[in-house]
Amino acid sequence: MKKILAIALLATASSVALADNDAGCGLGSMVWAGQSGVAPKILAATTNGTSANQTFGITSGTLGCQADGVITSTARLSMFMGTNSERLARDMSAGHGESLDVLANLMNIKTEDKGAFFQAAKVNFGKIFAPENQTAGQVLAALQQVMAKDAVLAAYQAS
Amino acid sequence: MTFNLSRLVCAIGFLAYSSLSLASPIDNWLIKAKEQHLASHPYWRILLRYEKTQGDKLISSVEQPSFFVSPNGKTNAEAELKATLESLVAAAPTKADDAIACRFPARAAWLRQQLNITESDLASANCPAFSTWLKGINPHEATLVFAADYVNNPSSMFGHTLLRIDAPDQTEETRLLAYAVNYAAQTNTSNGLEFAYKGLSGGYAGAFSVLPYYEKVKEYNDFENRDLWEYQLNLTPVEIKQGLAHLWEMKGINLPYYFLASNCSYQLLGLLEAARPNTYMRRDFPVYAIPTDTLRRVLEEKNILKKIVYRPANGTALAFYAQKNSPTINQTAKQLADNPEFSVDALTATEQAQAYEMAYDYLYYRFLAHEVDKNSTPSKLRNLLVKRSRYPAAERASPPRPLIDPAQSHNTSRFVWGAGYGQDEPFVSVDYRPAYHDLLDSDDGYRRGAAIDFLRLQLRYHTDSQQLKLHRFTFVSIDSLAPRNDFQKPLSWAFALGSQQAAVDHYGAFSTTEQHGVAFIEGGAGISSKLNTEDWLCYSFLQGHLQAGNHLDDGWRVGLGPRVGCRQQSSVGQLLVDVQSLYHQDSNQFLNSVNLGYQWQITPNNAIRLNAHIEQQQQTHWQSGELGWVRYF
C-alpha cells in the first residue's frame, strides 16, 4: 500500500515539475480551453469593451514575455502557440493552413523543408496532440521530439 | 580720433555678437514658436488632445498629469509648449527613458522639425524602451481592419475598427504575426446592462492597446464569429512611425469613451491624423461616429486603399461548408460531433476526411458558444483531429469574399420623399432616418436579414384635409432574421418601439375613416429559412404588441398572433412581404395587416421605393400606398 502511494505521489510530483518547466510565456495555456466566463455577447459587442489585462503596457502574468504590448523576440514562438494551439491543431491535422505556416515561420523552417515539416507534423499528429499533452508547452515539446527523429527536420533542433 | 571710433565700433560689434551667442538656442526657439503660433497649431492640438472646450478656451481631454510636461499643461497650450522645449535642452535624467524626448517622441520630433532644431543642440536622444518597442513592431505598412457584425446581434452591425501594423518582410501567410492597435473601453465587468449604460454615458475610460493581431483574430473570428475585412492602406513607413510615436505618448493614457461619439473608430481616426499631418477626418464626425462611416471617410483619402482582404469567421465558414457538403457528409459530421467513434464506412475516403473536419468545426463552434460540456469536449475535439490526420492532406475551399465590402454598402442616413394615397385621400410624405439599415434597403455589404433603425420619422401631409400627421416615429426597430441550416439553429427575433397612426375611431374601434396616434412596443420571435434558395429569406414568428393611446378603448390594447413574411434580394432590388394576424383583447377580434414593399436600386445610394399597406378587421379595411424616392447620404 505504502509503495503504491509513494509511486502515485512521485508520479504526480514529476508531472507537476514538467508543467512548471513548460509554463513560461504562453506555454502554460491549455489547449482547447475555450472562453473563460460567460461572455455578455449581446452588449459586449455593442460597446467593444476590453478587459484591463489587454491594456497596452500592462502585461498580466507575462513578465519577460512582452513589454508594452510587444512580444520579446525569444517569446514569439511560445506566445503564438499559447494563443493559437487550437487553430494550429486544426491546420496540422489537415496538413496545411495559415497557423501552420506561421509556426513554420517562427521555427525558421526553410521554404524547401516546409513540405516535410507539414507532413511529419500531420503523420505524427496523434503523438503531438496526445491526450496527456494538455498545454501548449507539452505540445511544442512533443513536436520537437518528432522533429528530432525526422531525417530532414532534425537539423532544426534548437541548441 | 578715427582710431578710437573704429575701436568703439569694433567693441560695440564684439559686444553685440557675444550677446547674440550668449543667448541660448532655447530663447530663440521660444521666440520662433511664439511667432509661428505653434501652441495653437492644429497638429500640437492633435498631439496634446486640446479638443475640449471650456468657455472660450480649448483644454486637453486628458486628465492624467503624467501626459503633460507643465503642471498647467492641461489648460495652457503655450505653457506646455514652453515646458516641452525647455525640457529638450535639460540635462539627461538618470534613466534615459524618462527624458521628455523619450516619453513624448512625437512632440519632440514635431517641435524639432517646426523650429529647425538640429541634433547637436539637444542632449543625446537615446530612448531604449521606445526603440525596442518600435523595433518589435517593425512597422512598414498599415491596414485598417473592420470587424463586421455577428449573427443575431444587429447592434453589432455598426462594426468595429482597429489598425494593424505590417512588417516589411510580412507575407499573406504571416499576417497573423503583425501587431494590432485597438481603442476600447476599459472595463472589468461582465454585466451586459452595465456595459451598455456606462458605454453610452461615458462611464468608462478608453485607452489604446497594442497586441498581436492573432489575438484579435481569435477574439473576432472565433469567439465572436465576426468576419474581418482588412483594408491595406498606402500610408508610408515614415507616416506610420510618426503615428506610432504618438501612440507611444498615449501609452497608459485615458481618453473619454463614448460608444456613440468617442469610440474605437473615432480615436483611430485621431491616430491616423497624427500619422499624416494636415489630414482632418474627425471634423466630419461632430456628433457621432459610426465605424462604417469612419471607414468610408478614411478611404476617401486620395490613393489610400491598396488592397482588401476578407477573413471569414468560424460561423461564416461553417454555414458555407454546411451548404457545400453533401447531406451525407453533414449528417455523418453531426453524429461524429456527438461521438467521434461513429462509423464512417459508408463514405468514400475523401468524404470521411471532410466529415471529420466538419464535425470538428461544428463541435468547436458549439464549444466556444458554451453549448456543449466544457469538460468532455476537448478530448472529443482532439480525437476528431487525430482521426482526420490519418487521411491525406487536402486544401479546403474558403468561403468566397462577398462582392460588396462594408465600405461600399449604402450610406448610413436616409431620406425618402414620396406621395401616395391613404383610403383614397392623397398625401405627400417625408421619411428621415439617421441610421442604419432596414429590410427593404439593399443588403450589399450588410448581413442579409439583419436590420436596425433609430429615430426614424415619417411625416405625411394630407392634401385634401390639409393635415400634417406624424405617420410613424420609430425610436428603435430591430430585425434579426437568422436563417437555419443543419448545424446552426438560431432564434430569429424582432423588436420595435415608437408611435404610429392606427386605424381607430375615438372609441378604439376599427375605423375606415379615422386614424389616431398610439404608442407601441412590439416584438416577435420564431424561425427563418432561406428555403434552399440564394435570394429568399422567409420567417415565421409569434408576434405581439402593446399599444397605448387616448383613443383606445381602455387606453391600451394588446395583440398577439402569427406573423409570416419573406424577403427577396435580386440584382434589380428588394422585395418584402409581411403578414400579421393579431388577436386583440379589446375588440376580441383578429386585426390583420399586410405590408408589401419593393425597392428598385438605381445606384447604391439612390432608389425608388413602393409601399402598400392593408389593415383589415372582419369586413372592413384600411389601405394605403406610397411611392417614394430614396436617397442615402
pLDDT digits (tens, 9 = 90+) for A38-49: 443 444 444 455
Q: What is the pLDDT of residue B27?
A: 87
Q: For residue B483, is it left (φ>0), alpha (ψ between -120 and 50) or beta?
A: beta
Short-list B468, B540, B527, CA closest to B501: B468
Q: What is the pLDDT of residue B96?
A: 86
Q: What is the pLDDT of residue B150?
A: 87
Q: What is the pLDDT of residue A52?
A: 42
Answer whether B168 touches A (CB < 8 Å).
no
Q: How far is CA A104 from the centre of its chain?
A: 13
Same domain, B53 and B183: no
Distances in Å between the Cα of B196 and the Cα atoms of B210, B260, B479, B494 are 24, 11, 19, 19
CA dist., res. A66 & res. B504, Å (int): 67
> Has residue B192 been placed in a domain?
yes
B180 close to B215: Cβ distance less than 8 angstroms = yes
Same domain, B426 and B559: yes
Q: What is the pLDDT of residue A45?
A: 44
Same domain, B344 and B280: no
Same domain, B516 and B484: yes
Joined grid coordinates for residue B232:
491595406
Element housing B596 (H / E): strand B589-603
Same domain, B75 and B161: no
Same domain, B155 and B200: yes
Q: What is the pLDDT of residue B620?
A: 87
CA dist., res. B578 & res. B379, Å (int): 47
ipTM greater than 0.90: no
Q: What is the pLDDT of residue B210?
A: 93
Q: What are the tens digits of pLDDT across the range B377-408? A: 999 999 999 999 999 998 888 999 999 999 99
Short-list B133, B155, B156, B160, CA closest to B144: B160
> Has residue B64 been placed in a domain?
yes
A144 close to A153: Cβ distance less than 8 angstroms = no
Q: What is the pLDDT of residue A44?
A: 44
> Has residue B17 been placed in a domain?
no
Please tell me which of the candidates B184, B210, B386 has its beta carbon nearest to residue A49: B184
Q: How far is CA B163 from the centre of its chain?
A: 13
Answer whether B226 touches A (CB < 8 Å).
yes
CA dist., res. B498 & res. B546, Å (int): 11
CA dist., res. A128 & res. A143, Å (int): 5
What single DSSP character describes residue A73?
A: G
Chain B interface, best mutation among A48, A66, A134, by max B CB count within 10 A: A48
Assign B306 to helix, strand or coil.
strand
Same domain, B206 and B340: no
Q: What is the pLDDT of residue B56?
A: 87
Closest residue in A to B265 (Cα) is: A48
Short-list B631, B295, B594, CA closest to B441: B631
Joined grid coordinates for residue A136:
501548449
Residues of chain B with pLDDT under 50: none
- For chain B, what percent of residues have pLDDT higher than 90? 73
Return the HEC string of B144-203: EEEECCCCCCHHHHHCEEEEEEECCCCCHHHHHHCEEEEEEEECCCCCHHHHHHHHHHCC
CA dist., res. B260 & res. B290, Å (int): 7
Same domain, B164 and B305: yes
Closest residue in B to A54 (Cα) is: B209
Q: What is the pLDDT of residue B160?
A: 93
What single DSSP character describes residue B510?
A: B
> Has residue B404 been placed in a domain?
no
Peptide bond just before B436 cis, omega within 30 deg: yes
Q: What are the tens digits of pLDDT across the range A70-127? A: 888 888 999 999 999 999 999 999 999 999 999 999 999 999 999 999 999 999 999 9
> Has residue B400 been placed in a domain?
no
Please tell me which of the candidates A52, A80, A89 has its beta carbon nearest to residue B188: A52
CA dist., res. B559 & res. B521, Å (int): 11
Element housing B432 (H / E): strand B425-433
Same domain, B492 and B372: no
Show which of B249, B277, B311 is a domain's final residue. Answer: B311
Q: What is the pLDDT of residue B16?
A: 54
Same domain, B494 and B444: yes
Q: Can you say whether the dihedral through the CA atoms of B463, B469, B475, B478 is positive or negative?
A: negative
Contact B389 A92 (CB under 8 A): yes
Joined grid coordinates for residue B601:
436600386
Q: What is the value of pTM for the model shown?
A: 0.89
Contact A102 B173 (CB under 8 A): yes
b/e burial code for range B57-91 (CB count within 10 A of at least 16 → b): ebbbebeeeebbbbeebbbbbbbbbbbbbebbeee
B7 close to B1: Cβ distance less than 8 angstroms = no
Residue ranges per structural domain of chain A? 39-71, 72-159
Closest residue in B to A72 (Cα) is: B136
Please tell me which of the candidates B179, B199, B368 has its beta carbon nearest to residue A47: B199
CATH of the domain at B598: 2.40.160.40
**Per the structure, how many domains does chain B have?**
4
Residue B562 structural domain: 409-632
Which residue in this structure is represented by grid cell 521530439? Answer: A145
Q: What is the pLDDT of residue A100?
A: 95
Chain B interface, best mutation among A41, A43, A47, A51, by max B CB count within 10 A: A47
Same domain, B187 and B307: yes
Q: What is the pLDDT of residue A56?
A: 58
Show which of B286, B311, B336 is a domain's final residue. Answer: B311
Same domain, B77 and B168: no
Joined grid coordinates for residue B331:
449528417
Show which of B332, B360, B389 is a domain's final residue. Answer: B389
